[in-house]
Amino acid sequence: MSSKYQTSIGSFTRKSTFFWASVGATVGLANLWQFPYLASVHGGGLFVLAYLVCLLGVTLPLMVTEAAIGRHSRHGMVLAMDGLVKNAGSSPVWRLAGPLSILASFLVLSFTAVFGGIVVAYIFFGATDSFGGGSTVEATGILAELVSSSGRYREFMGWHAFFLLLVVWVSARGVVSGVERSLRMIVPGGLVLMLGLFAVAATHGQLASGVESILVMRPEQFGLESVQAAFFHAFFTLGLGVGVWAIFGAYSTSHTRLKRSLLAVVLMDTLIAIVVGVMMFSVASGSGSLDGQHGFGLLFVSLPVTLASVPLSQVVIAAVFLAVMLVVWATSIALLESVVAWFREWTGAPRAWSVIIVGAAVWLAGLASLFSFNVWSEYRLAGATTYRWIELIAGGVLIPAVAILVATFAGWGLTKRYSASMLGDAPVLFRKAWLWSMRLILPLVVAWIGTQYIAVSLANLCENGSAAVWCSTSQGTVAEEPTASELESGSESQGETGEGASVTTSTKASTSEEVNREQADPGEDDILYHSV
């Protein structure tokens, strides 16, 4: 007979697993290709402090709420919200948080796996000394040939399928033998590898320069846009709104200290982002090769070029992308678990079949994003490729909607006694802060983030030459709006990867042909925080 903390679909066996699994879910590509850039251009240490305030004061309470909902019900987000709403006698509208979170997780995983395929390919490219020339032109050519070439998209599909098979293989082994055991090895292994790479950077680079870029406070660079950037990064980097915290909370043992563990996860996530940033700028010291770089341009172009000058560069570059692969692998395992757990609770199907069915669906959905960069690059709806619409729907609509529904229901729909029992032992001050954060602060902040996310994304389509209906009415105000990278809603790349078979610079294209190329491959204005 199952013990009282076990769900019908599985459970972790060790209380520390919740911590390692949570670190794997939060430490994602945004820590690698976004945070270093944000800190370097928004005041260094002042941005780090603002980011921590946003994490602890705004997004951590929602993180605790989602995990507590799963822990209290011992179910994934769908059945957990269904039970809570019924017990509270509230409107069925609140139940939408469950299915919307699963859909968001599915969509985010679909394009995260595509990026995972690129990272796996780069381990091979690094090991074979493909970046030996240390030329930006060569590096951008390698990326474009892999991602944008219509003649080699099958190779891209192969890397994508291989990465997804790794994720599916872990999940199919079960919650304990697969997810728990793998995350307990992948996450610490990735951290050890990062520390080794940090030692290399400190030895062969200029550590003081890295510390100055990330941690030294520069008030002249810090302003309102910096605060906006901190809010956006804090919200999108923690994996909120995709059902991960509910299922991990459901899997946690009765001995796991949920709130303390989540606080440690947030601090660990921030520490890793700082270490990565210092490491990158230490290696690049004096070359200026990473100045103003973020997203695709930072990770897949500037970083390999910078590392090409390091002794044993083949080994170092391969090790760097192995560490990145471990990060994306852990994130993808967490995202898949949210969907697989829902599918099992919905259908009662065996785990192996559930994983195969969900994995196949994720692969097919991922092809829509993959083809958007090459063979489908000519096909757009309102000026955007399939991939960009998938990302916009997930990041601008679904994730904010789930966060608002969960926060508002927890703040207003539950009685104080019920919410107290759900949260467990907590200081009175924490409970009061949590309550008003759920009732007022979080819904308003997340609604603002989602609105800005959509508005800036659509405005960027107009700047790129879209003939969509909203462009005729908004074009006059677009110039006054901050860009997606300024809002830091997850701009993924530097515009250094081109469309079709060529590569463009980050300068906006001046002809219609250049505009077409710039939009299909991940470009300067793409918003990709959700490969968390």
Q: 373-420, pLDDT tens digit by residue?
A: 999 988 888 878 899 999 999 999 999 999 999 999 999 988 777 777
Phi-psi region of 249 (alpha: psi -120 to 50; beta: other; left: phi over 0): alpha
pLDDT band at residue 123, thresholds of 50, 70 and 90?
Answer: very high
Residue 465 burial class via C-beta count within 10 angstroms: exposed 0-12, middle 13-18, buried 19 and up: middle
243-to-3, 53, 169, 213 alpha-carbon distances in Å = 24, 24, 21, 35
**3-state per-residue secondary structure call for 199-215:** HHHHHHCCHHHHHHHHC
Please report the pLDDT score of residue 511 as a whole number. 32
Query: Quick check: 81 pLDDT over 90?
Result: yes
pLDDT at residue 487 in the model: 36
Residue 265 pLDDT level (bands cut at 50, 70, 90): very high
Phi, psi values for residue 491, rounded to 5°: -55, 125
Q: How confident is the model at residue 530 (pLDDT cuts 50, 70, 90)?
A: very low
Instruction: Please classify residue 218 by burial: count the beta carbons closer than 10 Å to its beta carbon, then call 0-12 exposed, 13-18 middle and 19+ buried.
Output: middle
Would you place residue 200 in the very low, low, confident or very high pLDDT band (cuts 50, 70, 90)? confident
Binned at pLDDT 50, 70 and 90, residue 7 comes out as low
Return the pLDDT at 264. 96
pLDDT confidence band for 313 (50 / 70 / 90): confident
Which pLDDT value is given to residue 327? 95
* pLDDT given at position 27: 92
| pLDDT on residue 480 | 37
- The predicted pLDDT at position 330 comes to 96
Q: Residue 474 has what pLDDT? A: 46
**CA-to-CA dists, residue 220 to 43, 113, 486, angstroms:** 7, 39, 16
- 344 — pLDDT class (breaks 50, 70, 90): very high
When pLDDT is averaged across residues 22-51 and rounded to a whole number, the result is: 92
Q: Which residues pair with 7 in a beta bridge?
A: 10
Structural domains present in the chain: 15-464 (1.10.4160)
Question: Mean pLDDT in the chain?
Answer: 83
Distance (Å, rounded) from C-alpha 341 to C-alpha 8?
Answer: 10
pLDDT beyond 50 at 513: no
Q: How deeply is 504 buried, as exposed, middle or buried, from its count of CB atoms within 10 A (0-12, 13-18, 19+)?
A: buried
Q: How many residues does the chain have?
A: 532
**378 phi/psi in degrees, rounded to 5:** -80, -15
Mean pLDDT of 56-77: 91
Residue 49's alpha-carbon distances to 42, 43, 218, 387, 424, in angstroms, are: 11, 10, 12, 34, 29
**418 or 110, higher pLDDT:** 110
Q: Are 118 and 295 in contact (CB under 8 A)?
A: no
pLDDT for 434 beyond 50: yes
For residues 519 and 495, give the distance between their C-alpha atoms in angstroms, rounded to a whole number: 9
CA distance 317 to 302: 12
Residue with more model confidence, 521 or 261: 261
User: Of 305-314, 338-347, 444-453, where does mean pLDDT reach its minimum?
Assistant: 305-314
Judged by average pLDDT, the poorest of 365-374, 400-409, 419-428, 434-443 is 419-428
What is the spatial distance between Cα 486 and Cα 480, in angstroms, rounded to a whole number? Answer: 12
The structure tokens 């909370």 sit at 249
CB 295 within 8 A of CB 126: no
Q: What's the pLDDT band for 521 if we cut at 50, 70, 90? A: very low
Per cent of the chain over pLDDT 90 is: 54
Structure tokens at 102: 């699963």
The answer, yes or no, to whether residue 214 has pLDDT greater than 70, is yes
Amino acid at 88: A
- Sign, CA torsion 336/9/78/243: negative
Residue with tokens 């659509």: 458
- Whether 232 shows a pLDDT value over 60: the answer reads yes
Give mean pLDDT, residues 350-365. Answer: 96
Q: Which residue has the higher pLDDT, 202 or 503?
A: 202
Average pLDDT over residues 49-57: 92
Task: Residue 243: count other Cβ atoms within 10 Å of its Cβ.
Answer: 34
Element housing 327 (H / E): helix 313-347
Which of 68, 6, 58 has its CA nearest to residue 418?
68
How far apart CA 526 and CA 384 sit, in angstroms, is: 10
Residue 292's pLDDT is 59
Higher pLDDT, 137 or 66: 66
User: What are 470-486's pLDDT values in tens digits?
Assistant: 776 544 443 333 333 33
What is the residue type of 528? L
d(C-alpha 235, C-alpha 452), whole Å: 13
For Cα atoms 105, 107, 112, give the angle at the middle one, nearest 5 degrees. Answer: 90
What pairs with residue 527 in β-bridges? 491
Closest of 105, 88, 89 to residue 97, by C-alpha? 105
Q: Which residues contact 209 (CB under 8 A, 6 or more apart)?
A: 281, 282, 285, 286
pLDDT at 163: 97
pLDDT: which is higher, 460 or 179: 179
In this structure, what token pair is assigned to residue 327? 């990060």
Tell me what pLDDT residue 529 has: 40
Spacing of C-alpha 28 from chain mean position: 5
- pLDDT for 310 equals 81
**Residue 398 in tokens:** 């679904």
Mean pLDDT in residue range 504-518: 34
Cα–Cα distance for residue pair 51/271, rounded to 1 Å: 12
Residue 35 has pLDDT above 70, yes or no: yes
- The reported pLDDT for the residue numbered 476 is 42
* pLDDT band, very low/low/confident/very high, at 170 (cuts 50, 70, 90): very high
- Cβ neighbours of 212 (radius 10 Å): 18
Q: Say yes or no to pLDDT of 492 above 80.
A: no
For residue 162, how many other CB atoms are within 10 A of its CB?
Answer: 13
At residue 285, the pLDDT reads 61
Q: How confident is the model at residue 291, as a pLDDT?
A: 60
Q: What is the pTM of this model?
A: 0.86
State the pLDDT confidence band at 469, using cuts at 50, 70 and 90: low
Residue listed under structure tokens 């098979």: 165
